[in-house]
Structure 1
Amino acid sequence: MVTRSLFNSTARRNWAQTVAHAETLVQPDKPDPNHKDIRNLAQNHLAHLTQNLRHLVESEHPMLTTMGQYYFEPNAGKHFRPLVVLLMSLATSLAPKQVRGNAAASGPPLPHPRESPAADQTYRIGEADSAGCTILPSQRRLSEIVELMHTATLLHDDVVDEAAMRRQKTCAHLQFGNKMAILVGDFLIARACCALTRLRHNEVTELLATVISDLTEGEVMQLKNSEQEEVVDRRLDGPTPATFNYYLQKSYLKTAALIAKSCRAAALLGGCPPEVADQAYLYGKNLGLAFQLIDDMLDFTVTEADMGKPVGADLKLGLATGPVLYAWQEYPTILGPLIRRKFSQPGDTQLAWDYIHRSRGLSQTYELARSHCDAAVAALMHLPESPARQALVDLTTKVLDRKK
């Protein structure tokens, strides 16, 4: 087992190299990742993905099209979730298969009236790569459905959080207004659901439908923080296990559920049996939890320029995330009252910030994220060895290493 240092390691690839390597796996006809045009390879794949997403959200109403495509500009976003889906599709393509009565999952998707011929070209099944891995058209479509759903949540969340920046541009609700931002988020979810039904796979449809419920429940949990409030009302000497469980459940619903269930869906679309789909789900769940934990940590450790959105936002919203909860264990009498009143008094956020950095809260949050990454890698070991599986392993390291 490779020992990971706390925040840095010369043995790790940088994020661009990891993504570039992954891109060559989902486009097996491309050159080696060490080729001099490696950046162009990554951009080419992202451009195809973005083009297809823009076609999916075209509407007869020009304003709706403009707003629907607002976050789907070339080079906008990391496209982390679609990449995970595509890699999981490749990694599970070598696993044992089971026969389904409905073979539509492995066939071409039904035509969409708003798709252009150019967009359709990206859905043709290419030849298998050197390891025999393939991606089905339905799995490629799944990767786009996942990005549509994720982007819809960004539109809604930014209204709730009164955010100012997203992906290094003005948030949609400030550009177009709260009402339109909410409506466009609903529109993206509707388009995702339409594309989902065309996959003709009942279990996958149910999986992704429950994600919409999960995302809403997670947002409500964050808004109310009822369990945490009850704990803080009763005591000021630190968080209980119930407090941490509430935080992790909220993190699962808001972030990890989409990644976990889309990984499972990718395996099911590929005809994998339940035991393989279960391991895909476990990988996605643990990767998603680690991703959110690191996101909560980065809110205290990077600049706004690095993140592409304001930092320190969680404290301003009155949220007690992982670093805050761990710091509360060390400084209960100082942080307890601040958490109880949700950092609402002048000087509260700065005082909390200082004690979070003074405590082991950031390092403990990182260690918890690392344990989830280890669990994700353990799930992958049940899949056949392949370049795609190794790329998924690499992604766990990059989640821990990311700065935005």
Structure 2
Amino acid sequence: MATRWWRWRWRWRWRCGCYWRPAARSPRPGFPGSAGLPGPRAAADARAQMSYFNLVKSITSAFQNVYELSRFHHTTPGVCCRSKIQSGEQYTDPFKLGWRDLKDLYEDIKKELLISTTELKEMSEYYFDGKGKAFRPIIVVLMARACNIHHNNSRNVHASQRSIALIAEMIHTATLVHDDVIDDASSRRGKHTVNKIWGEKKAVLAGDLILSAASIALARIGNTTVISILTQVIEDLVRGEFLQLGSKEDESERFAHYLEKTFKKTASLIAHSCKAVSVLGCPDPAVHEIAYQYGRNVGMAFQLIDDVLDFTSCSEQMGKPTSTDLKLGLATGPVLFACRQFPEMNAMIMRRFSLPGDVDRARQYVFQSDGVQQTTYLAQQYCHEAIREISKLRPSPERDALIQLSEIVLTREK
């Protein structure tokens, strides 16, 4: 665990020349400090860890959807190192295993769009070019298989479960189109955004069309429970966007606000999609909860690492400009943790980094603090809980692949 943590830290320092060095100093009293980081400063780390525990305890009391982080902060074993296969069967790469059921994924999505207007068709299909990793569909089909195996030892993915994978990717892509309009983004996945090529008004309509096509595909499944589960995602996405547009003046409420926004904008889709395929494959409510909690925790970790990479990665690796969140006036995990060490950042957060030099100063504060490490550590805790949940299912290659995926979330570079 210790070796892996420091390997990540040095990789972040040197990756594509984006070198940064935290200042060598002791944490201020009450700041999380270096909780979870091994090293010679054992006594200081113990005090810092206790401060971090108090922070997490305050977060969980303010935001009930954070799933008792304080509990597994002390009880979860070090499972984030590469897991051994627990099923006894030969391990297959999770992406290769998932793609068995996702052949022609993007072609099938394009068939769902059914657009006659040439320009609108081109806009709607723009991101369905097969160049993405299809992270969400992969999780969905692996979860479908794992639940089916747990229920009746069937390795087949039902047609309705595969449809959920398509719908999840369509909803996700529609939100990317809309987010790029809201953020006035110029690049996505290494190419120009829809709004920069066709304009904001047409981009909004293209996103709406993708959402409508996803809704039609969802209705065609015909399961009212599943329809109810996935329509909650649409509501969460809208509410999450509104949360992102606002902020909390009270510093003690800011982190809860950030985590709630993160759940609604990112984790909700993964959580509810996993739950939907579990409902279609297994009648046990306990399995539905396992699937939901796995997806929720992986989704939270995914976004936390994305927020870290916005500081530590380069534009070429991210496929989009870095420091975007600061430029948009958003205070993500690394900033909020850094603010506890540098209270002078509060004023910048409240004015949403709008004054000249705010963005650069905020970046410097983040790199001089433990904000990146603390956010990554928090992502680790979510992954620990995801592994804890999915391990309750019957052993199978699919279950083990989901464990591996939760670890890939932590080590990804894009």
Partner-residue secondary structure (3-state), 1:299: helix
Letter of the structure 2 residue corresponding to residue 255 of structure 1: T
Letter of the structure 2 residue corresponding to residue 249 of structure 1: E
| Distance apart, 1:58 and its partner CA | 2.7
Partner-residue secondary structure (3-state), 2:330: coil
Task: Quote the residue 1:5 is aligned against.
Answer: 5
Task: Quote the residue 2:364 is aligned against.
Answer: 354
Work out the CA distance in 1 between the residues paired with 2:340 and 2:6: 21
Task: Work out the number of aligned pairs and report it.
Answer: 337
| Distance apart, 1:136 and its partner CA | 0.8
Task: Quote the residue 1:50 is aligned against.
Answer: 106
Q: CA RMSD in A?
A: 2.2
1:67 to 123, 126, 146: 123
2:257 to 231, 236, 246: 246
1:188 to 210, 216, 235: 210
Work out the CA distance in 2 between the residues paired with 1:4 and 1:377: 18
Distance change in 2, residues 1:277/1:46 (3 Å): closer
Task: Quote the residue 2:311 is aligned against.
Answer: 300
The 8 Å contact of residues 7 and 401 in structure 1, kept in 2 or not, is answered as: no
Gaps of 5+ in 2: 12-79, 84-90
Task: Quote the residue 1:396 is aligned against.
Answer: 406
Work out the CA distance in 2 between the residues paired with 1:339 and 1:53: 40
Gaps of 5+ in 1: 14-18, 29-44, 98-130, 232-238
Structure 1 residue 160 and structure 2 residue 182: aligned? yes
**What is the correspondence of 1:3-402 to structure 2 with a 5 Å cutoff?**
4-5=4-5, 8=8, 21-26=93-98, 48-75=104-131, 77-96=132-151, 132-225=154-247, 228=248, 230-231=249-250, 239-240=251-252, 242-333=253-344, 335-402=345-412
Letter of the structure 1 residue corresponding to residue 346 of structure 2: G
Distance change in 2, residues 1:138/1:244 (3 Å): same
Partner-residue secondary structure (3-state), 1:91: helix
| Distance apart, 1:215 and its partner CA | 0.2
Letter of the structure 2 residue corresponding to residue 390 of structure 1: D
List 4+ stretches of structure 1 deviating above 4 A: 1-4, 9-13
Work out the CA distance in 1 between the residues paired with 2:99 and 2:362: 47
Show CA shifts across 1:324-378 (max 9, x none).
0000000112x12211211111111111101100100000000000000000001
Task: Quote the residue 2:37 is aligned against.
Answer: none
Partner-residue secondary structure (3-state), 1:382: coil
TM-score (norm 2): 0.78
The 8 Å contact of residues 99 and 138 in structure 2, kept in 1 or not, is answered as: no
The 8 Å contact of residues 92 and 397 in structure 2, kept in 1 or not, is answered as: no
Task: Quote the residue 2:15 is aligned against.
Answer: none
Work out the CA distance in 1 between the residues paired with 2:367 and 2:312: 9
Work out the CA distance in 1 between the residues paired with 2:265 and 2:245: 12
The 8 Å contact of residues 149 and 188 in structure 1, kept in 2 or not, is answered as: yes
Distance change in 2, residues 1:46/1:304 (3 Å): farther
| Distance apart, 1:12 and its partner CA | 5.2
Letter of the structure 1 residue corresponding to residue 293 of structure 2: L
| Distance apart, 1:26 and its partner CA | 3.7
Letter of the structure 1 residue corresponding to residue 180 of structure 2: D
Task: Quote the residue 1:120 is aligned against.
Answer: none
The 8 Å contact of residues 46 and 74 in structure 1, kept in 2 or not, is answered as: no
Partner-residue secondary structure (3-state), 1:94: helix
Distance change in 2, residues 1:290/1:3 (3 Å): farther
Work out the CA distance in 2 between the residues paired with 1:3 and 1:95: 35
Partner-residue secondary structure (3-state), 1:92: helix
The 8 Å contact of residues 320 and 339 in structure 1, kept in 2 or not, is answered as: yes
Show CA shifts across 1:22-57 (max 9, x none).
2443466xxxxxxxxxxxxxxxx7661111112111
| Distance apart, 1:6 and its partner CA | 5.0
Work out the CA distance in 2 between the residues paired with 1:353 and 1:388: 40
Show CA shifts across 1:364-393 (max 9, x none).
000000000000001011110100000000
